[in-house]
């Protein structure tokens, strides 16, 4: 039996996580009640009568800002991610989202999702990422999140590394990389440990988001980066395991940060040592039960309908005016979604009332 890999020089492009010591780390070994990492909220783009509802968009951002201020949480808005329908946006609308944000917050940084515009599914071209990169960087201060694409994801680890490095040549601001499991899209593959280490060692990439459903890749990332002292911050994209990132003192970058914003902000405060409240464990349970409904899988095994569920919740809270989704987005829930979300909100709202968490009740 081969010994477990413990050092980066032992890694090969084909090394699997199960061959490394970082796959054997328990979450309990990484607990951190002292750090206060940021909450990165993937902002929803509300629609009404088939058009972006900018009034609701601005109210939603202000609502989340109030939630963060109430609990002393650093919040960073993520614009033009999947929650903002980035795959359905024209370049004009992509930029308008940013300019609307910038008009509201002239000096605040933001993270903008960057996709491969007009990309071929088989032939990778770094230039496909340039349109979104150029638009976002023109509105600095900001960060960019390089969202994967089918051609990029289809490369072997070494060529995939080179492709990310080629994209980085166009980047002038801090950048995050993004990895997915096939549970999200069938062609997706998470980063191998060798590839993660290569990207984490690049000066332009200050962190990354890992979206997982079936495997504990965020835990692997956290273990490797901490053990090796890498200047690279893992961001959890796991809407099904929100509490894990809070307990490990690591940032979240999630769409669930919208529908459960005050609850997550409260949990981040009450987990910290100086403000610890043992009811935080029940708060963890409450918002996770909600997000399990928001991100429930459809008959195809997809959670993409979460955007419709999120819009429904924000409408019930009186934050936005309509539960419409982007007219070109097919991710519409079937059945009585208002009734389903109202039921899902019962326990979180009861916990919010008992813990005196503001900004979380049905609109009167």
**The domain that contains 200 carries what CATH number?**
3.20.20.70
**Residue 53 within a domain:** yes
**Residue 361 within a domain:** no
**Residue 11 within a domain:** no
Measured over the CA atoms of residue 58, residue 341, residue 267 and residue 362, the dihedral's sign is: positive
**Residue 338 within a domain:** yes
Range of the domain at 156: 17-354
Number of structural domains (the chain) is 1
pLDDT tens sequence for the chain (364 residues): 678 999 999 999 999 999 999 999 999 999 999 999 999 999 999 999 999 999 999 999 999 999 999 999 999 999 999 999 999 999 999 999 999 999 999 999 999 999 999 999 999 999 999 999 999 999 999 999 999 999 999 999 999 999 999 999 999 999 999 999 887 788 999 999 999 999 999 999 999 999 988 899 999 999 999 999 999 999 999 998 999 999 999 999 999 999 999 999 999 999 999 999 999 999 999 999 999 999 999 988 888 899 999 999 999 999 999 999 999 999 999 999 999 999 999 999 999 999 999 999 999 8
**Residue 300 within a domain:** yes
* pTM strictly above 0.95: yes
**Residue 9 within a domain:** no
Q: Return the HEC string of the chain.
A: CCCCECCHHHCCCCCCHHHEHHHHCCHHHHCCCCCCCCEEEECCCCEECCEECHHHHHHHHHHHHHHHHHCCCCEEEEECCHHHCHHHCCHHHHHHHHHHHHHHCCCCCCEEEECCCCCCCCCCCHHHHHHHHHHHHCCCCCEEEECCCHHHHCCCHHHHHHHHHHHHCCCCCCEEEEEECCCCCCCCCCCCHHHHHHHHCCCCEEEEEEECCCCCHHHHHHHHHHHHCCCCEEEECCCCCHHHHHHCCCCEEECHHHHCHHHHHHHHHHHCHHHCCCCHHHHHHHHHHHHHHHCCCCCCCCCCCHHHHHHHHHHHCCCCCCCECCCCCCCCCCCCHHHHHHHHHHHHHHHHHHCCCCCCCCCC
**Residue 1 within a domain:** no
**Residue 141 within a domain:** yes
């Amino acid at each position: 039996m081969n010994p477990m890999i413990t050092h980066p020089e032992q890694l090969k492009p084909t090394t699997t996580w199960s061959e490394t010591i970082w796959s054997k780390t328990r979450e309990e070994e990484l607990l951190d009640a002292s750090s206060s990492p940021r909450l990165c909220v993937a902002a929803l783009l509300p629609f009404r009568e088939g058009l972006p509802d900018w009034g609701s968009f601005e109210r939603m951002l202000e609502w989340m800002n109030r939630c963060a201020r109430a609990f002393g949480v650093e919040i960073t808005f993520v614009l033009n991610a999947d929650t903002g329908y980035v795959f359905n946006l024209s370049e004009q609308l992509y930029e308008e989202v940013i300019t609307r944000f910038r008009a509201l917050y002239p000096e605040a940084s933001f993270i903008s999702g960057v996709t491969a515009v007009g990309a071929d599914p088989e032939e990778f071209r770094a230039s496909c990422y340039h349109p979104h990169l150029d638009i976002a960087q023109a509105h600095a201060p900001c960060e960019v999140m390089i969202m994967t694409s089918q051609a990029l994801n289809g490369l072997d680890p070494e060529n995939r590394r080179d492709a990310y490095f080629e994209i980085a040549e166009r980047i002038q601001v801090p950048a995050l990389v993004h990895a997915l499991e096939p549970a999200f899209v069938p062609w997706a593959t998470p980063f191998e440990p060798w590839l993660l280490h290569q990207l984490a060692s690049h000066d332009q990439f200050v962190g990354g988001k890992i979206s997982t459903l079936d495997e504990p890749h965020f835990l692997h990332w956290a273990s490797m980066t901490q053990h090796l002292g890498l200047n690279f911050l893992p961001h959890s994209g796991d809407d099904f395991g929100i509490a894990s990132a809070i307990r490990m003192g690591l940032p979240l970058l999630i769409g669930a940060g919208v529908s459960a914003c005050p609850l997550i902000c409260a949990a981040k405060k009450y987990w910290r040592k100086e403000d610890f409240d043992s009811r935080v464990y029940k708060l963890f349970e409450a918002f996770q039960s909600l997000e399990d409904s928001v991100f429930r899988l459809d008959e195809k095994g997809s959670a993409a309908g979460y955007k419709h569920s999120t819009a429904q919740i924000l409408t019930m809270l009186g934050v936005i005016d309509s539960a419409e989704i982007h007219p070109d987005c097919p991710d519409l829930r079937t059945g009585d979604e208002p009734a389903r979300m109202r039921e899902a909100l019962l326990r979180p709202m009861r916990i919010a009332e008992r813990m005196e968490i503001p900004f979380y009740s049905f609109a009167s």
